[in-house]
């Protein structure tokens, strides 16, 4: 009798997997959920011989772990990000690494707009003042007309393009930088393509939409962010490591930047000592831009379906390590 196929789920955040489990049971696939607490034990008893790994974004799948996977055909990241997986080590063993790039495009673009408008209109400051007994519509100046605002997008993939659609009705000017996107794509969305330095020099609000790579890691340092117009705002719903956080703190304290909306941080959850937590001009959400009931269910179902493909000897979708 043929042994059951196995999928090993690495999750240290207690995410929901009910829809996934339904698919695995339907296809007679054995599954186990492992946290960092019971990782070593489960690796020996289950992971070594698993057919596939599903890894929560943030659960490290380094070369050491990958070297122990004797039967694994693919590692699936439970979301868009894949910087927690050693792509080279997986490729050397012939293991596919796959993400789920488009399950939460609507949610992340909506979250980006929500953070942007909240900061541009200074809603948190107004709310705080009113609750403290201050009824003054002009004490949060300056607030500028949205139609006079330049929105800059660093990266112009699926989410950035959805952000454009949501911003257009406000009459803003939109510029973007992405050297991997053809000029015709920008033109099709009514967006002006600019180089990186021009993007920084002209953006009243800079929104980040790039993956975390060696090229983008810490790319926004003090010098780069200082070149933004005085009073500019930064919104980050992609990856925390793009921004040098200490430099962001400095520029907010110096009042060169007027605010930052951050759904992601370099260390998550953040240390209590992280100064961004105590600065009034920041709005921080807990890496939640992806979330809605519909997005969560879609992520589970489509990830499980990709696992089934591999178990059945088919090539999976959304391969990111080029094998």
* Residue range 251-308, pLDDT digits in tens: 999 999 999 999 999 999 999 999 999 999 999 999 999 999 999 999 999 999 999 9
Q: Which residues have C-beta within 8 Å of that of residue 251, sequence separation ≥ 6?
A: 222, 225, 226, 257
Q: At residue 256, what are phi and psi to the nearest 5 degrees? A: -70, -40
302 part of the active site: no
Query: Across the strands, what pairs with 282?
Result: 260
- Give me the architecture of the 5-103+293-311 domain, per CATH: 3-Layer(aba) Sandwich (3.40)
Residue 2 pLDDT more than 80? no
Confidence of residue 57 (pLDDT cuts 50, 70, 90): confident
* Residue range 217-243, pLDDT digits in tens: 999 999 999 999 999 999 999 999 999
* Residue range 91-101, pLDDT digits in tens: 999 999 999 98
CATH number of 105-284: 3.40.50.720
Same fold, 5-103+293-311 and 105-284: yes
Confidence of residue 15 (pLDDT cuts 50, 70, 90): confident
Are β-strands 205-208 and 232-236 bridged in parallel, bridged antiparallel, or unpaired? Answer: parallel
239 part of the active site: yes
Please give the model's pTM, rounded to 2 decimal places: 0.89
Which DSSP string corresponds to 168-204?
GGGT-EEEEE-TTS-HHHHHHTT-EE--HHHHHHH-S
Beta strands in the chain (DSSP E): 5-10, 29-34, 52-56, 74-78, 96-98, 150-154, 173-177, 192-193, 205-208, 232-236, 257-262, 282-284
* Distant-in-sequence contacts of 98-103, Cβ < 8 A, 24+ apart: 98/74, 98/306, 98/316, 98/317, 98/318, 98/319, 98/320, 99/318, 99/320, 100/76, 100/299, 100/302, 100/303, 100/306, 100/318, 101/158, 101/318, 102/158, 103/79, 103/290, 103/295, 103/298, 103/299, 103/302
Domain ranges of the chain: 5-103+293-311, 105-284
User: Is 5 strand, coil or helix?
Assistant: strand
Are β-strands 29-34 and 282-284 bridged in parallel, bridged antiparallel, or unpaired? Answer: unpaired
Q: Which of 24, 8, 58 is closest to 290 using CA atoms?
A: 58
Which residue out of 84, 239, 302, 318 is catalytically annotated?
Answer: 239
In the DSSP assignment, the letter for residue 215 is T
287 part of the active site: yes
HSE value, Cβ hemisphere, 13 Å, CA-based, for 210:
26
Secondary structure of 16-39 in HEC code, one letter for each residue: CCHHHHHHHHHCCEEEEEECCCCH
Distances (CA, A) of 271 to 125, 181, 267: 25, 36, 7
Which residue out of 45, 254, 268, 280 is catalytically annotated?
Answer: 268
Residue 3: its pLDDT value, please?
82
Residue 83: its pLDDT value, please?
86
Mean pLDDT across the stretch 17-35? 97
* Residue range 65-84, pLDDT digits in tens: 999 999 999 999 998 888 89
Residue 193: its pLDDT value, please?
98
Confidence of residue 1 (pLDDT cuts 50, 70, 90): very low
* Residue range 142-188, pLDDT digits in tens: 999 999 999 999 999 999 999 999 999 999 999 999 999 999 999 99
Mean pLDDT across the stretch 13-37? 95
Which residue out of 17, 111, 209, 287 is catalytically annotated?
Answer: 287
């Amino acid at each position: 009798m043929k042994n059951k196929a196995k999928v090993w789920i690495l999750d240290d955040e207690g995410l929901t997997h009910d829809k996934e489990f339904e698919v695995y049971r339907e296809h007679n696939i054995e599954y186990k959920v492992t946290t960092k607490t019971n990782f070593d034990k489960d690796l020996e008893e289950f992971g070594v011989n698993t057919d596939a790994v599903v890894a929560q974004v943030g659960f490290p799948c380094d070369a050491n772990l990958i070297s122990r996977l004797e039967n694994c055909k693919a590692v699936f990241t439970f979301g868009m990000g894949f910087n927690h997986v050693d792509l080279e080590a997986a490729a050397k063993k012939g293991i596919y690494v796959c993400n789920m790039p488009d399950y939460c495009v609507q949610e992340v673009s909506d979250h980006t707009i929500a953070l942007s408008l909240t900061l541009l209109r200074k809603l948190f400051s107004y709310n705080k003042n009113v609750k403290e007994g201050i009824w003054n519509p002009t004490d949060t100046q300056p607030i500028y007309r949205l139609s006079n605002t330049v929105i800059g997008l660093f990266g112009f993939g699926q989410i950035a393009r959805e952000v454009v659609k949501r911003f257009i009705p406000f009459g803003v000017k939109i510029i973007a930088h992405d050297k991997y996107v053809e000029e015709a794509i920008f033109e099709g969305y009514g967006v002006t393509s600019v180089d990186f330095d021009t993007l920084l020099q002209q953006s009243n609000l800079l929104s980040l939409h790039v993956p975390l790579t060696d090229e983008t890691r810490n790319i926004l340092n003090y010098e780069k962010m200082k070149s933004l117009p005085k009073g500019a705002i930064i919104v980050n719903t992609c990856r925390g490591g793009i921004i040098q956080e200490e430099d962001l703190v400095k520029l907010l304290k110096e009042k060169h930047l007027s605010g930052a909306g951050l759904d992601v941080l370099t260390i998550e959850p953040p240390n209590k000592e992280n100064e961004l937590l105590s600065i009034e001009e920041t709005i921080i959400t807990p890496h939640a831009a992806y979330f809605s009931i519909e997005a969560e269910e879609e992520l589970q179902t489509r990830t499980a379906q990709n696992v089934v493909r591999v178990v059945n000897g088919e090539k999976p979708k959304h391969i990111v390590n080029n094998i």
